[in-house]
Amino acid sequence: MTEQQRRPTLMDVAEAAGVSRALVSIVMRGAPGAAESTRQRVLETALQLGYRADSRARLLRSSRTKLLGLVFSSSQPFHAEIVDAAYAEASARGYEIALSAVAGGRPEARAIETLLDVGAEALIIIAPTLSMDELALHARQVPVVSLLRDDVGDLVDSVSSDDHAGISLAIDHLLSLGHRRIVHVDGGTAVSSDKRRETYRTEMVRHGLQPVIVPGGPGEEDGMGAGQILQADLPTAVIAFNDRSALGIMESFRAAGISIPTDVSVLGYDDSHFAKLSYVQLSSVSQDAPLLAAAAVGRAVDRIEGSEPPGSVVRTPHLVLRKTTAQLPDAGLNSS
Amino acid sequence: MTEQQRRPTLMDVAEAAGVSRALVSIVMRGAPGAAESTRQRVLETALQLGYRADSRARLLRSSRTKLLGLVFSSSQPFHAEIVDAAYAEASARGYEIALSAVAGGRPEARAIETLLDVGAEALIIIAPTLSMDELALHARQVPVVSLLRDDVGDLVDSVSSDDHAGISLAIDHLLSLGHRRIVHVDGGTAVSSDKRRETYRTEMVRHGLQPVIVPGGPGEEDGMGAGQILQADLPTAVIAFNDRSALGIMESFRAAGISIPTDVSVLGYDDSHFAKLSYVQLSSVSQDAPLLAAAAVGRAVDRIEGSEPPGSVVRTPHLVLRKTTAQLPDAGLNSS
DNA sequence: TGGTCGGACTAGAACGATCTAGAAGACTAT
DNA sequence: ATAGTCTTCTAGATCGTTCTAGTCCGACCA
């Protein structure tokens, strides 16, 4: 049923309109060099035949593909937000986005290859896990922009959020509420976990406070585990590696009858969907995904079009205060 | 800096290896017709030059693109699971997947066009929102498979989960635990909300019970709202439209001091990531995303390769029992 | 009158692969 | 020796575009 009829080509339109292929091409891409009257006629016949340019042939000929390759991880809700924003920014800049997911059994390298195969002019990789060398290798072929990771060598662009500023913001906020026993639950092996942990450590020391780091991870379960540990010697405030971890921590506290923020303040990171839920109302450090995405796309386009050298863009995150942090009642008593 | 040198072509490899382009082509795609010794030599020089076939040219020539277009919604975590599984199944079948997201400001129609432009041989659309007519229009050009929606006319394939069976399963399970006052919190305008609601209604009646439907929606907040309403006259069991809604319901109960499953049993739908969290442990109806994805990909490939007529595949969901449903202590007393 | 200019249009060569048809050489069968 | 068959390899057409280098023709100017 419904035998797929061959889709019409430039040639078909040209014949039907009684002109040359070249002229149809000119008309279709709105280039100058066609009389208004013929232009109309050609457009009309094209519409009638349901003509639709074959992007493969088009791209093959004109070396430009106007394609931006975007590698994301299908299991990260936060990446989805970025994808969303990237689409918008790219189309505003006159580019298309080719998506490629990293999934179970589909490593980053594979995702990248696919994108290069379809002719992406630049690569945007969200939180790349490849080594600096591997990234540099690709960067020799096309501009590569690393998103959310900045230690990528100087052949690769990076757009990231200032983790140092984010953690500092969190600590300052808690300090201003009178907290002094502030603990960090880290992200284990997750990207940017190291930087957040180290910033926490140095900032605490700088303020003359004792840093305490509880091992964690990027998921709810990791937070749960850390929460158990914390209960043995409850601090007055906790800075989690991310929102999901914070959720786990809060859940473990709740199960133990510890109330938030009365007994302990909790701060998340990412300002994700969860943080905004009415029954969570988690205060969190926002990296502002749409802005990051726009910056990454902008960077990629600039690299393609201009001959700018690679560089890095760092955006400053901001605090979104909700209901999980509160003033310490008996401020300034116990310090370590 | 690192001027992008033109990427090597078949011609370059051919010259370097001292053979014809055609032979290189044969070797590169592993076709028969080359002596083992030359094959090795060609492969080696190709590797040395960093040769990589240009998919645009390749696809232009060979009418086959071996590409499956997959349209998903970037804001749906459940879709991400499907994307994951689809990749695996497609590559097992020798196909590639081209992804296109529906996002804010990027309607489904746009996503589909992009995929057709790159030459997808079939379209898999997760929970399509287009009308039957619009879908049929595309189906005239390429096979279209609708995933998670089955009222799509008979030109379009569909792969869906049997909502009727899912709800029946849920009701039967609760009945077997002695529950009789079972309420359904529906999904509002979400896809397949209607079918689940109607099945609930008829199944309840069939068992001689009074159906009670509380309006809801697909999100946590919707569940919260429904939870408030339910508290006025607490049933012994609730079947939520999906897991996120169930989460909201449970949260509202928890806030009111109602304990689960002692005071009330709650059943979710989707068996999503959330349901599995150790502090949630939600019993849920699983649609088994990987299986659905595999079926959709399989269907698409069959349509492309064979000349099978469109049809629909329906998979039966199953119950995953965790800790939110329990035996009713005083079974069989009140029945509305 | 003739030369130059510019607008509208076209023929044919790219782009980088695949595919068809056939050539060259080695081997076997008659 | 001749014909037939395999295997290995190649020349050249082809996919549907865009690009380059024209051609044609009327208008304008000295």
Please list the pLDDT of chain B residue by residue as tens digits (336 residues).
Answer: 334 457 899 999 999 999 999 999 999 999 999 999 999 999 999 999 989 898 889 888 887 788 899 999 988 888 998 999 999 999 999 898 999 999 888 999 999 988 887 878 899 999 999 999 999 988 988 899 999 999 899 999 999 999 999 999 999 999 999 999 999 999 998 888 999 999 999 999 999 999 999 999 999 999 999 999 999 999 999 999 999 999 999 999 999 999 999 999 999 999 988 899 988 999 999 999 999 999 999 999 999 887 788 899 999 999 999 999 999 876 444 444
Distance CA A164, CA A167 (A): 5
DSSP-derived letter for residue B190 is S
Distance CA A159, CA A292 (A): 7
Residue B313: what are its φ and ψ, rounded to 5°? Answer: -110, 135
Most distant pair of Cα atoms in chain A: their distance: 90
Fold of B163-287: Rossmann fold (3.40.50)
Sign of CA dihedral B213, B217, B219, B223: negative
> For tokens 């926490």, what's the residue?
A200
* Cβ count near A304 (within 10 Å): 19
A119 touches A62 (CB < 8 A): no
Angle between helices A289-305 and A77-92 (to 10 degrees): 50
| Nearest-by-Cβ selection for A103 from B56, B84, B141 | B84
* Cβ count near B6 (within 10 Å): 7
Helices (H) and strands (E) in chain A, counts: 13, 12
The two three-digit tokens of residue A100, written as one number: 């490629």
Question: In this structure, is the CB of residue A9 within 7 Å of any atom belonging to strand D?
Answer: yes
The string over B252-286, giving b where at least 16 C-beta atoms fall within 10 Å of a residue's C-beta and e elsewhere, is bbeeeebebbeebbbbbbbbbbbbbbebbebbbbb
Residue B272 sits at the chain A interface (C-beta within 8 Å): no
A-to-B residue pairs, Cβ atoms closer than 8 angstroms:
129
Helix (H, G, I), strand (E, B) or coil at A112: helix
- pLDDT for position B335: 43
Å from the B310 CA to the C20 C1': 34
- pLDDT for position A64: 80
Å from the B63 CA to the D5 C1': 32
Closest by CA to B134, choosing from B148, B144, B126, is B144
B222 touches B194 (CB < 8 A): no
Cβ under 8 Å to A: B residues 307-326 = 309-310
Q: What count of Cα atoms within 13 Å lies in the side-chain half-sphere of residue A81? A: 16
The two three-digit tokens of residue B129, written as one number: 């929102």
B264 touches B234 (CB < 8 A): yes
Sign of CA dihedral A139, A144, A149, A154: positive
The one-letter code for the residue type at A82 is I
DSSP-derived letter for residue B289 is H
How would CATH label the architecture of B67-161+289-315?
A: 3-Layer(aba) Sandwich (3.40)
Q: Which residues contact B329 (CB under 8 A, 6 or more apart)?
A: none
Question: In this structure, is the CB of residue B53 within 7 Å of any atom belonging to strand C?
Answer: yes
Strands (E), A19-94: 67-73
Angle between helices A163-176 and A193-206 (to 10 degrees): 40
Domain ranges in chain A with CATH number 3.40.50.2300? 67-161+289-316, 163-287
Task: List, in sequence order, every residue forming a beta bridge with B274; answer none if it has no partner.
Answer: none
Sign of CA dihedral B70, B73, B77, B79: negative
Helix (H, G, I), strand (E, B) or coil at B111: helix
| Nearest-by-Cβ selection for A101 from B54, B83, B106 | B83
Angle at A216 between CA A213 and CA A217, to 5 degrees: 135
DSSP run (H or E) holding B124: strand B122-126
CA distances to A248, B265, B280 from A255, in Å:
11, 19, 12
Closest by CA to A102, choosing from A112, A94, A92, is A112
Q: Which residues contact A117 (CB under 8 A, 6 or more apart)?
A: B52, B53, B54, B55
Strands (E), B44-121: 67-73, 96-102
**CB distance B83–A106 less than 8 Å?**
no
- pLDDT for position A330: 62
The two three-digit tokens of residue B82, written as one number: 């499907």
In angstroms, the first-to-last Cα distance of chain A is 77
- pLDDT for position A305: 85
Residue of chain A with shortest Cα separation from B114: A96
Closest by CA to A243, choosing from A77, A29, A32, is A77
Q: Which nucleotide is nearest to A35 (CA to C1')?
A: C8
Name the residue closest to D20, CA to C1': A22
Fold of A10-53: 434 Repressor (Amino-terminal Domain) (1.10.260)
CA distances to B195, B205, B231, B335 from B211, in Å:
15, 7, 17, 11
3-state secondary structure A291-329: HHHHHHHHHHHHHHHCCCCCCEEEECCEEECCCCCCCCC
Domain ranges in chain B with CATH number 1.10.260.40? 10-53
Q: Which residues contact A169 (CB under 8 A, 6 or more apart)?
A: A285, A317, A318, A319
Residue B151: what are its φ and ψ, rounded to 5°? Answer: -95, 75
Fold of A67-161+289-316: Rossmann fold (3.40.50)
CA distances to A77, A210, B119, B200, B333 from A118, in Å:
26, 53, 11, 47, 66
Q: Which residues contact B291 (CB under 8 A, 6 or more apart)?
A: B85, B315
Kindly report the nearest CA distance between residue B279 and chain A, in angstroms: 7
A186 touches B243 (CB < 8 A): no
Residue A251 sits at the chain B interface (C-beta within 8 Å): yes
Helix (H, G, I), strand (E, B) or coil at B119: coil
B2 touches A156 (CB < 8 A): no
Q: Which residues contact A312 (CB under 8 A, 6 or more apart)?
A: A150, A157, A158, A159, A160
Closest by CA to A224, choosing from A245, A198, A197, A209, is A245
Distance CA B154, CA B136 (A): 8
Q: Render each residue's pLDDT in chain A as its tens digit; 336 residues.
A: 334 457 899 999 999 999 999 999 999 999 999 999 999 999 999 999 989 888 889 888 887 888 899 999 988 888 998 999 999 999 999 899 999 999 988 999 999 988 888 888 999 999 999 999 999 989 988 899 999 999 899 999 999 999 999 999 999 999 999 999 999 999 999 888 999 999 999 999 999 999 999 999 999 999 999 999 999 999 999 999 999 999 999 999 999 999 999 999 999 999 988 899 988 999 999 999 999 999 999 999 999 887 788 899 999 999 999 999 999 876 444 444
Helix (H, G, I), strand (E, B) or coil at A183: strand
Residue B213 sits at the chain A interface (C-beta within 8 Å): no
A86 touches A296 (CB < 8 A): yes
B267 touches B240 (CB < 8 A): yes
| Nearest-by-Cβ selection for A103 from B54, B87, B220 | B87
Å from the B57 CA to the C23 C1': 27
